[in-house]
Structure 1
Amino acid sequence: MSSPQDEALARAAVDALTGQLALAPKPGLPDPRDLGARRTRKDHCSLRWSARALAPGLAAMAAAARRTGEPTPRLRAELGAIGRCTEHSVGLAGGGHRGALWTLGLLVAAAALDPGAPSSEVTTTAKKIAAHTDKRAPRRASRGSSVSAKYGAAGARGEARAGFPHVRRALDALAGARTAGAPETEARLDALLTVMSTLQDTELLHTAGPLGLRHVQAGARGVLEAGGATTAAGHAALLALDADLHARAWSPRGSAGLLAGALFVDALATGVSSPARAA
């Protein structure tokens, strides 16, 4: 049974995800400007609704971690079983968020194992959980794992087993932008672009191949080099990149899920609440 602390972690994770969804403009990703969410063909309101369907599963993951007390193979297997049930529930609520569930589930479990830990320790603990193999997982390869094998990309599993380096990069970008006086929305957009600039996004590799991935990475770097979302030049470059990805129907969904993970860890450390909380 989950405790109030477990449920609070789940709410913080869902707030982080809905906060990511609320950002605009997000290049090639669903945001409040449009109801048709591009490649996913999900209505933006449906994505927000289905995000909330993650809460019971995330609370159960936190409870499992609290009961187990260590990042063991048993915990990894239990998180996998809960995650598969949660995917089914989210599918009934409208679908989406598979990558975010993987990231947030591991980070929520890590936070439950060590309440009050700094962000670096949360990602390190998540790495220890992800290091174990889920022996109960279905034998069939997922699209992400197939793409990872084809192109030699780390993929979601590799990102977790490396201790979520792109979550840490997003946290550094958030801190840097805030220190420079950027408004919160622009700071979060710069964090997203920072992830996009280097992530080997398997969704992009599937739809656009290696050349397309490099095109998106270069576009994200171009926005940051122009000053990021806070400057006139950077904002213009961001809108141009968004229009380009729209036209090509390319969606960097892996970056979005990792940004949600960063916003969750950031909320644990700073108490910064998501814009979605007030929505």
Structure 2
Amino acid sequence: MNVALKWQSLPGRALHAERLGHLASLCLKLEVKTYPKPGLVSHVDNGAHRDMDAELLCRSADTLAPFFCDLAAAGAGGAGMDRLRAIGVAAERAMLAATEGVNTHRGAIFGLGLLCAAAGYRNAVSVRKSLGRLVSERWDEDILSGPVSLRSHGAVAARRYGAGGARAEAADGFPSVYDIALPALHAARELAPHDEEAVRVQTCMRLIADVTDTNLLHRGGPEGLRFAQASASAFLTAGGVGSSGWRRRAADVHHAFVARNLSPGGSADLLAMALFVDRLDF
């Protein structure tokens, strides 16, 4: 069957895009409403950040909702990377205006934005493929060949230390989401079936332990990355959120990150992406 015959009506696609935009924004706010996350901003404290707090991050997430909606609608319309990139640039400008110049969600605009576009496309053509696979199939070459942000701390660290970074992650279909975060998320629900915050903490720790987070490389170099991964791994090996006293132990890890000015912002973005995909994928 010609997939063009299966495209939804414009009103249906617009409604779906709006829902996707709000879901993406909600997932960003759920990431904020998670404590203890090592070194990261939460509703409890500002972690290793002096320039942002939970209120600012939630304001940023609300500001980005209509842009995530636009990305979903563009994906539903079969847009190429040039169109998606233009929406992303507009989203970043709106974010910086809302936060008075603080980079709260540049990485999430990129990663969650691509997933929104893929979700819009998938719904429009009724294809049963994972969002990550669709991102890779439709836009991988353009992701890798597109302009490199000179302002991104993560991109600078990726170049300096030879790490793959966000672009390689996206072009490959978000393996850190599908192979690390989602299995951790589902396993954590067995450990803490009635505590979604605990589930998010466990998933965040697993991401920190297993991902080469370029934000950690930027702040602490290879030594900081090794410390962060070892600390998160030790928490998980001791039972994670399935063990007694886990909140105190997670808080201790958090405070150790803050003392070293470490913040795994890439893992935070991946957590939000995993929450988004978990709601939508099969």
Secondary structure of the residue aligned to 1:229 is helix
Equivalent in 170, 173, 176 of residue 184 of structure 2:
173
1:107 paired with 2:118, answer: no
Deviation at 1:180, TM superposition (A): 3.7
Deviation at 1:144, TM superposition (A): 2.5
Length-normalised TM-score, structure 2: 0.86
Letter in 2 for 1:123: G
Secondary structure of the residue aligned to 1:38 is coil
Q: Is the 8 A contact 2:36 2:247 kept in 1?
A: no
Q: Is the 8 A contact 1:39 1:250 kept in 2?
A: no
Name stretches of at least 5 consecutive residues in structure 2 with no aligned partner: 1-9
Letter in 1 for 2:142: T
Q: Find the aligned partners of 1:24 and 1:139 in 2 and give their Cα distance.
A: 30
1:75 corresponds in structure 2 to 80
Pick closer, same or farther for the CA change 1:242–1:207 going to 2, 3 Å.
same
2:54 corresponds in structure 1 to 44
Length-normalised TM-score, structure 1: 0.87
Quote the sequence identity (%): 35
Secondary structure of the residue aligned to 2:97 is helix
2:234 corresponds in structure 1 to 222
Q: Find the aligned partners of 1:209 and 1:50 in 2 and give their Cα distance.
A: 28
1:90 corresponds in structure 2 to 95
Q: Find the aligned partners of 1:139 and 1:100 in 2 and give their Cα distance.
A: 14
For 1:106-135, what per-residue CA distance to the aligned partner results, in whole angstroms no more than 9, with x for missing partners?
A: 1111111112766x7111112224413267
For 1:41-70, what per-residue CA distance to the aligned partner results, in whole angstroms no more than 9, with x for missing partners?
A: 2122111111111111111111111111xx
1:17 paired with 2:28, answer: yes
1:275 corresponds in structure 2 to none
Q: Is the 8 A contact 2:131 2:281 kept in 1?
A: no
Letter in 1 for 2:22: R
Q: Find the aligned partners of 2:186 and 2:54 in 1 and give their Cα distance.
A: 28
Q: Find the aligned partners of 2:156 and 2:240 in 1 and give their Cα distance.
A: 34
CA RMSD, aligned part only? 2.2
**After the TM superposition, which segments of 4 or more aligned residues of structure 1 sit over 6 Å from their partners?**
none
Pick closer, same or farther for the CA change 1:40–1:155 going to 2, 3 Å.
farther
Deviation at 1:198, TM superposition (A): 1.3
Secondary structure of the residue aligned to 1:156 is helix
Q: State the aligned residue count.
A: 263
Pick closer, same or farther for the CA change 1:214–1:117 going to 2, 3 Å.
farther
